[in-house]
Amino acid sequence: MDDKPLPTYHGQRAQRSSSRSLAFKGLLAAVLLVVGPLTYFSNTVVDLSNKHSSSPSVPINAQAIINKCKALDVLPGPPKDFGKRKESDRFEPGTKPVLIRNATIWTGRDDGKEVLKGDVLLAHGVVKSVGDADVAELAEYADVVTVDAEGAWVTPGIVDAHSHMGVDSAPELEGAEDTNSFKGLTLPWLRSLDGLNTHDDAYRLSISGGVTTANILPGSADAIGGQAFTIKLRPTKERTPTSKLLEPPFSLNATAGEDAERPRWRQMKHACGENPSRVYDGTRMDTQWAFRNAYETARKLKVEQDEYCSKAVAGRWTDLGAFPENLQWEALIDVLRGRVKVHNHCYEAVDLDNMVRLTNEFKFSIAAFHHAHETYLVPDLLKKAYGGPPAIALFATNARYKREAYRGSEFAPKILTDNGLKVVMKSDHPVLNSRFLLNEAQQAHYYGLSEHLALSSVISTPATILGYDHRIGFLNKGYDADIVIWDSHPLQIGATPKQVYIDGIPQLKKPHVNSKPSRLQKSPQTPDFKVEIKETLEHDGLPPLVVYKAKADVVIFKNVSSLHVREGTKVKEVFDVTRPNALGENGDGVYKVTDVVVENGNVVCVGVKEDCLKTYETPSSVIINLERGSISPALVSFGSPLALNHIDQEASANDGRIVDVLTSSNSGLLGPGPLIRAVDGLLFETRDALLGYRAGVTVGVTAPTGGSFIQGLSTAFDTGAPHKLSNNAVLQQVTALHVGLLPSSPSVSTQIAALRNLLKGESQGDLGKYFKLVAEGEIPLVIDVHSADVISTVIELKKEVDSRLSGGRKTQFTLVGANEAHLIAKEIGAAGIGVILNPARPYPEDWKSQRILPGPPLSAETSATLLRKHNVTVGLGILEQWQARSTRFDVAWTALDSNGRITKTEAIELVTANLEQLLGVRKPNLDLVAVKRGSLHDFEGQVVGIISSRQRGVNLI
Ligand SMILES: *[C@@H]1O[C@H](CO)[C@@H](O)[C@H](O)[C@H]1NC(C)=O
Ligand SMILES: *[C@@H]1O[C@H](CO)[C@@H](O)[C@H](O)[C@H]1NC(C)=O
Ligand SMILES: *[C@@H]1O[C@H](CO)[C@@H](O)[C@H](O)[C@H]1NC(C)=O
Ligand SMILES: *[C@@H]1O[C@H](CO)[C@@H](O)[C@H](O)[C@H]1NC(C)=O
């Protein structure tokens, strides 16, 4: 996959030995003048009966060669009359026609602005009508299945322009690592289709998120990683990779050139920057030379072909010989002929500049720059690319994992579209689980991308840049019957399909549909981030993130529609007029908003004007109108290396990896029984911590980094603090003892044996001291584990340790990860063990984490609802630190997925009080977050202040 750290590979070097002369360049221009690329595409009539035909030099397959020559530069596209087709080439006989009635239809047309009310008729694998169903047409179908959408949003299926599904499969197994070849820097002849596993669990999961089509790219280890193939995710009768292909290019079965029809688009992966450099132990200069060398090879062959063809077409067969071709380079030659959509993993200005230069040197175009974290800083450069500006395929907020990504901005989609560039949101699955690709569009929308372009960014725009906008990405008559019926407006948090059709076939057997409140049936009114965008551009992508303390003891928040606060281990609603039938609502539907007065970071008065203001308002107090916004508890983040690195993949910007005392040869660490403390490695003012702070995550709990057995001691800190020695920066030096019971070497059973020994509390040094505290129930033991089998062993181990404790005392165990915990929820509840679900929405990443409870629409229960049913204390974690800022949205998403089983206040507890309890944090985080125009947990609110009793004031954002 693309953005996990790649192995460094020293064994293979790029093929750079070619000494082909670049003086050829001049010749190219000359040749192009003589034989323009389209010369023999026109209706050249070749007279085979001329005098040459009787000459022995005319080959018997002359007509075939000429046909091939004519076909060389035919640009790809759908066959003539494709738009009039009555049946899809992918139609599965027996599929019943479907009439979806009373839908709110987003068609993708008019730049994503068209919305129709009405019906959609699907039959023979295609869309038959959109809007008002044609009565005459309807009468043709006897067995039509009618679905009442009850006004629900309907869109075309989601198209993922960048996925590794099937080549980087779930569960990940060593036998199925088919993403990257390490056999050379430029490998245009490789094909992702050749590695496509048909048993990837992700097909089903991503369909349940509305994804119907995905472009399966080779990885980014190489400059040219190979050819990509676009597939439909649904299972096929044939059960083969080939049958999943959306539109097989003719070259696939060697019919290229033999067919008079137009060829289909091909797709190819390119990558610049850090990945090829890391893998081949090279530099950007090496990678760029590898590109030029490969393109020069292809260019020369193309010139040879064109010269050959111009002679053949003119009947000059003498000494012409065989048509010059080369199976290794034909795909790259096709790039030069404009018949391949090039997908270029490319991040930084330096790399983008290199590639734009390359396109102009060799005259080819790039369909999209992917990842492309600095594109928003250089829009004018992109416009200079040969053949027009590439589209930009982005993550919404996944950034800062390496230098290339350090300046990634959540505002990039907005800035790029403001510059007239096309934006696609993509998953890089499994880097992001493409089941939730729509969430990327939702976030892009939240951070400024317009509604119509946000929806287009995962539906119509990717379909267009892949070259398939004649059949997918839009709801048009004759298009593939790939559609999704949503349970809310698709840009609302947690939007989930009620049903997904691919080629007209319903994909969800018994979908579990949650009822969503009516306010979620319209698009969220997102904040205005004009100021933030301006600062982002002014600071070259690194706007200052520090916050400033209000210069007044008293801060008055006016026009507040809800207030939630912490009360011990609970979250309490003080008032919430947005809740149906809430006390604050007058009978006439008028919201009775309230003022909230804060003094020195403490809420001192809640009420209407007369009650509070009289007492506290002074000429110097700061007044903030929240415009019906809200105040709610600040959140806690756990699970990622938050504050242990600035840039994950850079050693010098990092605390580094910890030493595993079980396996390391330097386990002595200059003394007996060492234990690593995260507090000793804390880095402050990392951008992810500050972005978290600005999104209401004011406390982080971080354990030492590493997937190893004994990890060490976690610590709790203030994510907004400037440095470790500042006031209240470290909130608790040591919170819990962390271990991992993950499949590795040595075996899990070996790790358990060591754990059993350690829990006797007889070891030396810190190791002995802290395991003794665990064994006596003084601090929690936090265990990274997914497998239900290993969790079962942990339950038994806990019983063993508890049996040694007197006076009813018990140890405190917390499981982290816990994809499979739901399988033994009852036993976990009975053992009094807590669970931090991480990730919050499960993905079957490997064998030991694969038995997930997926949640709606695939299951009614989620892990959170089921565990809670058995009285398990549940928290939510994040895997990577950039996700800290989105914790606020996880709250609402988890509540919505629970279908009312987890209330809003309970959902807030999952990332506040519960995490504190599960991780041994003794003091509750009493900070509050003031949000304008919405809540912390929706796509409407904008955080404007952190109310902190700890810092005795209000920090303004
Ligand atoms: C469509 O559905 C909405 C929402 O359920 C309902 O209010 C409306 O009456 C329906 N319209 C038709 C034409 O059935
Ligand atoms: C090759 O594939 C194309 C497109 O699917 C198809 O039309 C053609 O019949 C195939 N040719 C052979 C020889 O299989
Ligand atoms: C509260 O905010 C809303 C939304 O901006 C505004 O319409 C209303 O006038 C405000 N009310 C007061 C009392 O400021
Ligand atoms: C959960 O706790 C409640 C309250 O203490 C109790 O009534 C209920 O029986 C418990 N449920 C289970 C499954 O243990």
The answer, yes or no, to whether any atom of ligand 4 lies below 6 A from the CB of 829, is yes
Asked if 626 and 644 sit in the same domain, the reply is no
Domain boundary residue among 589, 618, 634?
Answer: 634
In this structure, which residue's CA is closest to atom 7 in ligand 3? 627
In this structure, which residue's CA is closest to atom 6 in ligand 2? 250
89 CA to middle of ligand 2, Å?
Answer: 12
What pLDDT, on a 0 to 100 scale, did the predictor assign at position 34?
31
What pLDDT, on a 0 to 100 scale, did the predictor assign at position 47?
47
In this structure, which residue's CA is closest to atom 13 in ligand 3? 559
The answer, yes or no, to whether any atom of ligand 1 lies below 6 A from the CB of 150, is yes
Question: Measured between alpha carbons, how far is 96 from 916 in angstroms, rounded to an integer?
Answer: 53
The pLDDT > 70 percentage for the chain reads 90
Instruction: Identify which of 89, 244, 255 to mutate to test ligand 2's pocket (most ligand atoms within 8 A of the CB).
Output: 255
Instruction: Using CB atoms within 10 Å of the CB of residue 380, give its burial: 0 to 12 exposed, 13 to 18 middle, 19+ buried.
Output: exposed
Write out residues with Cβ below 6 Å of ligand 2: 248, 250, 253, 255
What are the pLDDT digits (tens) for 871-912? 999 999 999 999 999 999 999 999 999 999 999 999 999 999
Evaluate if residue 507 carries a pLDDT over 80: yes
932 found inside a domain: no
What are the pLDDT digits (tens) for 33-61? 333 333 333 344 444 444 444 456 788 89
Asked if 627 and 658 sit in the same domain, the reply is no
The answer, yes or no, to whether any atom of ligand 1 lies below 6 A from the CB of 102, is yes
- In this structure, what DSSP letter does residue 592 have? -
Residue 7's pLDDT band (cuts 50, 70, 90) = low
Evaluate if residue 84 carries a pLDDT over 60: yes
For residue 103, give both structure tokens. 């839908």
Asked if 697 and 602 sit in the same domain, the reply is no
Asked if 602 and 497 sit in the same domain, the reply is no
254 CA to middle of ligand 2, Å?
Answer: 8
Average pLDDT over residues 928-940: 97
More confident residue, 254 or 503: 503
Asked if 603 and 669 sit in the same domain, the reply is no
471 found inside a domain: yes
CA 779 from centroid of its chain's CA atoms:
36
567 CA to middle of ligand 4, Å?
Answer: 22
Asked if 133 and 250 sit in the same domain, the reply is yes
The answer, yes or no, to whether any atom of ligand 4 lies below 6 A from the CB of 830, is no
| Domain of residue 563, CATH code | 2.30.40
Instruction: Identify which of 869, 871, 874 to mutate to test ligand 4's pocket (most ligand atoms within 8 A of the CB).
Output: 871
Average pLDDT over residues 129-151: 90
Provide the number of structural domains found in the chain. Answer: 3
What pLDDT, on a 0 to 100 scale, did the predictor assign at position 567?
94
865 CA to middle of ligand 4, Å?
Answer: 14
Average pLDDT over residues 315-340: 95
DSSP 381-421: HHTTSTTSPPEEEE-SS---SSGGGTT--TTHHHHHHHTT-
What pLDDT, on a 0 to 100 scale, did the predictor assign at position 48?
47
Domain boundary residue among 603, 634, 665?
Answer: 634
Question: Measured between alpha carbons, how far is 202 from 171 in angstroms, rounded to an integer?
Answer: 9
Query: Which listed ligand is nearest to 90 at the C-alpha?
Result: 2
Instruction: Identify which of 101, 102, 154, 485 to mutate to test ligand 1's pocket (most ligand atoms within 8 A of the CB).
Output: 102
Asked if 606 and 692 sit in the same domain, the reply is no
Instruction: Identify which of 628, 630, 931, 942 to mutate to test ligand 3's pocket (most ligand atoms within 8 A of the CB).
Output: 628
DSSP 239-294: -SSGGGBSS--GGGGT-TTT-SSPPPPEEEEEE-THHHHHHTT--HHHHHHHHHHH
Query: Which listed ligand is nearest to 79 at the C-alpha?
Result: 2
Residue 248's pLDDT band (cuts 50, 70, 90) = confident
For residue 304, the one-letter residue type is E
- In this structure, what DSSP letter does residue 779 have? S
In this structure, which residue's CA is closest to atom 2 in ligand 4? 871
In this structure, which residue's CA is closest to atom 2 in ligand 2? 250
411 CA to middle of ligand 3, Å?
Answer: 28
For residue 548, give both structure tokens. 């400033």
Evaluate if residue 737 carries a pLDDT over 80: yes
957 found inside a domain: no
Q: Which residues of 651-668 are buried (b: 16+ CB within 10 A; e: fewer)?
A: eebbbeebbbbbeeeeee
What pLDDT, on a 0 to 100 scale, did the predictor assign at position 37?
36
Residue 739's pLDDT band (cuts 50, 70, 90) = very high
Query: Which listed ligand is nearest to 827 at the C-alpha?
Result: 4
- In this structure, what DSSP letter does residue 677 have? B
Instruction: Identify which of 100, 148, 150 to mutate to test ligand 1's pocket (most ligand atoms within 8 A of the CB).
Output: 150
What are the pLDDT digits (tens) for 103-119? 999 999 999 999 999 99
For residue 20, give both structure tokens. 């082909």
Evaluate if residue 96 carries a pLDDT over 70: yes
Q: What is the mean pLDDT of the chain?
A: 91
Average pLDDT over residues 229-236: 98
Asked if 212 and 238 sit in the same domain, the reply is yes
Give the residue from 647, 655, 648, 671 showing the smallest Cα distance to 724: 655
Instruction: Identify which of 627, 630, 931 to mutate to test ligand 3's pocket (most ligand atoms within 8 A of the CB).
Output: 627
Question: Measured between alpha carbons, how far is 260 from 263 in angstroms, rounded to an integer?
Answer: 9
What are the pLDDT digits (tens) for 485-499? 999 999 999 999 999
Evaluate if residue 587 carries a pLDDT over 50: no
What pLDDT, on a 0 to 100 scale, did the predictor assign at position 193?
97
In this structure, which residue's CA is closest to atom 14 in ligand 4? 870
- Peptide bond preceding 857 in cis form (omega within 30 of 0): yes
> Helix (H, G, I), strand (E, B), or coil: what is residue 786?
coil
The answer, yes or no, to whether any atom of ligand 4 lies below 6 A from the CB of 870, is yes
What pLDDT, on a 0 to 100 scale, did the predictor assign at position 583?
45
For the ranges 79-93, 405-419, 432-446, 914-928, the lowest mean pLDDT is seen at: 79-93
What pLDDT, on a 0 to 100 scale, did the predictor assign at position 24?
31
The answer, yes or no, to whether any atom of ligand 1 lies below 6 A from the CB of 151, is yes
929 found inside a domain: no
What pLDDT, on a 0 to 100 scale, did the predictor assign at position 686?
98
Asked if 776 and 909 sit in the same domain, the reply is yes
| Domain of residue 21, CATH code | 3.20.20.140
Asked if 706 and 730 sit in the same domain, the reply is yes
908 found inside a domain: yes
Residue 206's pLDDT band (cuts 50, 70, 90) = very high
Question: Measured between alpha carbons, how far is 877 from 641 in angstroms, rounded to an integer?
Answer: 11
The answer, yes or no, to whether any atom of ligand 4 lies below 6 A from the CB of 871, is yes
What pLDDT, on a 0 to 100 scale, did the predictor assign at position 5?
61
Instruction: Identify which of 250, 262, 266, 471 to mutate to test ligand 2's pocket (most ligand atoms within 8 A of the CB).
Output: 250
513 CA to middle of ligand 1, Å?
Answer: 18
786 found inside a domain: yes
Q: What are phi and psi of 815, to 5 degrees?
A: -95, 140
445 CA to middle of ligand 3, Å?
Answer: 24
931 found inside a domain: no
Q: pTM of this prediction?
A: 0.93
Q: Which domain holds residue 625?
A: 545-634
Asked if 662 and 628 sit in the same domain, the reply is no
What pLDDT, on a 0 to 100 scale, did the predictor assign at position 754?
93
**The ligand 2 atom nearest the CA atom of 247:** 5
Query: Which listed ligand is nearest to 590 at the C-alpha?
Result: 3
For the ranges 103-107, 667-671, 693-697, 741-745, the lowest mean pLDDT is seen at: 667-671
296 found inside a domain: yes
What pLDDT, on a 0 to 100 scale, did the predictor assign at position 46?
45
Question: Measured between alpha carbons, how far is 820 from 801 in angstroms, rounded to an integer?
Answer: 23
DSSP 204-236: HHHHTTTEEEEEE---SSSSEEEEEEEEE-S--
Distances (CA, A) of 513 to 116, 347, 455, 897: 23, 39, 22, 10
Give the residue from 936, 884, 861, 942 showing the smallest Cα distance to 571: 936
SS3 of 619-675: CCCEEEEEEEEEEEECEEEECCCCCCECCCCCHHHECCCCCCCCCCCCCCCCCCCCC
256 CA to middle of ligand 2, Å?
Answer: 10
What are the pLDDT digits (tens) for 622-648? 999 999 999 999 999 999 999 999 999
Give the residue from 454, 610, 448, 476 showing the smallest Cα distance to 536: 448
What are the pLDDT digits (tens) for 671-687? 677 889 999 999 999 99
What pLDDT, on a 0 to 100 scale, did the predictor assign at position 349?
98
407: Cβ contacts below 8 Å, ≥ 6 apart: 373, 374, 377, 399, 540, 541, 542
Query: Which listed ligand is nearest to 515 at the C-alpha?
Result: 1
Domain boundary residue among 472, 506, 538?
Answer: 538
Average pLDDT over residues 345-371: 98
78 CA to middle of ligand 2, Å?
Answer: 14
Asked if 473 and 573 sit in the same domain, the reply is no
For residue 183, give both structure tokens. 């056999």
What pLDDT, on a 0 to 100 scale, did the predictor assign at position 257?
46
| Pairing outcome for strands 813-817 and 781-785 | parallel
Q: Are 176 and 405 in contact (CB under 8 A)?
A: no
What pLDDT, on a 0 to 100 scale, did the predictor assign at position 608?
66
Write out residues with Cβ below 6 Å of ligand 3: 558-559, 593, 625, 627-628
